[in-house]
Chain A
């Protein structure tokens, strides 16, 4: 028994496949979705989506969004999503440093919108970097969890 999982970001289809379990970073906490789950609608926070089929696990970073669960399908509408295997560590590191530098120059009381967007960029790059370091080991097999 499997459940279909589709992850789309605004500019492309990131992942689609039949899987055994999907773990989502919901705003109210992490949740694991198994086949035949009751219909559910949730918002997502910055975090990791884990998708497991048989013994293979794939990890995606997601920067907020919405997920809809139907008994036979999980649809993730991500603001931005990426497979950890695709993350370019050098670029993510550069992005993080840029964001840090920009943040130190901005004044929180001044331009709130700019401050928040830079802060979000920083969080996003930090998350991606962290995820890439932690989960990327070529093709990964699950045996310890």
Chain B
């Protein structure tokens, strides 16, 4: 068993750890709240943008409205945008995401390239020798749309240039504080009619009359479709951020609990060690006194 001094040091260090993790937990809690607020803020725009897009797509007599809306017959290359965190200490947040990515795309029929958002995701992808064509890390703590629109633009460019025939988005969906799950969504070609998004965003009654376009139809679609793609990326980044902070908060709470439990155990052990030293000290003293008394007695006997 360790000495009392060693144990005292150990207890102090574990207490320090629990202080640090508790602080991190509080920080994450406030960050989660901010991230959720930011996420809610983008909802009206996303809903409206989606409505506009469904109206456009429902225009009569147009099957090939825009290249970004058109499915390609043969898919030769796939691009996946993976949104992870820049930092660790968030429990299984990053590992779960990457494990999910590999479950989805490991034995994929086409070659798969990745765009990594977040340093952890990039590291994990590179460690598994995947081809990462671009990385976006060190995003600001509360990214604005302009901070991340380049990601969407890159995805659109890759798609239009033909080096990717399909683009998927993998991120962590935020359900609530304790439940976050990785999900995959098709980013390009944009699927306007059918698919789950129609349920996600309410669709208003549609007018089938043809639009007046000002300027020309193509110019407008060139403007709004890439923007909508970037918006989807932005939203999923916000979802991921909220998830990351929530995961970190839970991980830190567990760490704090564990540390406190450990402190309790160690304290108990320390008390035992301390008791034992005292007992053995007492025995030593008592034994010494006894021996001394006997010695004096025998000396006295000789004299007397």
Contacts and interface: CB of A to CB of B under 8 A. Distances in A.
Given A11-B38, A39-B207, A28 B214 contact: yes
B261 to A, nearest CB: 43
The DSSP consensus for interface residues of chain B is: helix
A40 B215 CA distance: 10
Contact of A41 (B214, B231, B234): B214
A40 B52 CA distance: 11
Interface stretch (A52-60, A68-76, A84-92): A68-76
Nearest to A71: B207
A6 B217 CA distance: 22
Contact of A42 (B49, B55, B213): B213
B211 A39 contact: yes
A77 interface: yes
B211 A26 contact: no
Interface residues of B, number: 29
Contacts of B41: 11-12
Contacts of B207: 39, 70-71
A103 interface: no
A44 to B, nearest CB: 10
B210 interface: yes
B45 A27 contact: no
A71 B231 CA distance: 27
A27 B223 CA distance: 12
A40 B214 contact: yes
B78 interface: no
A42 B52 CA distance: 11
Interface string B229-257: 00100100000000000000000000000
A66 to B, nearest CB: 5
Contact of B52 (A12, A31, A75): A75
A77 B49 contact: yes
A66 B220 CA distance: 8
Contact residue range for chain A?
20 to 34
Nearest to B52: A68
A77 B214 contact: no
Nearest to A29: B214
A13 B46 CA distance: 11
B215 A28 contact: yes
B178 to A, nearest CB: 27
A39 B210 contact: yes
Contact of A66 (B38, B52, B145, B210): B52
A126 interface: no
Interface string B193-215: 00000000000000101111111
Contacts of B99: none
A11 B220 contact: no
Contacts of A10: 42, 45, 145, 231, 234
B210 A27 contact: no
A38 interface: yes
Which 10 pairs across A and B sit closest by C-beta, in order of nearness?
A: A42-B214, A13-B44, A40-B212, A11-B41, A68-B52, A10-B145, A8-B45, A8-B44, A41-B211, A39-B211
6 contacts: A10-B42, A10-B231, A39-B211, A40-B213, A41-B212, A66-B224
Given A11-B42, A66-B224, 7 more contacts: A11-B45, A12-B44, A13-B44, A27-B214, A41-B213, A42-B213, A42-B214
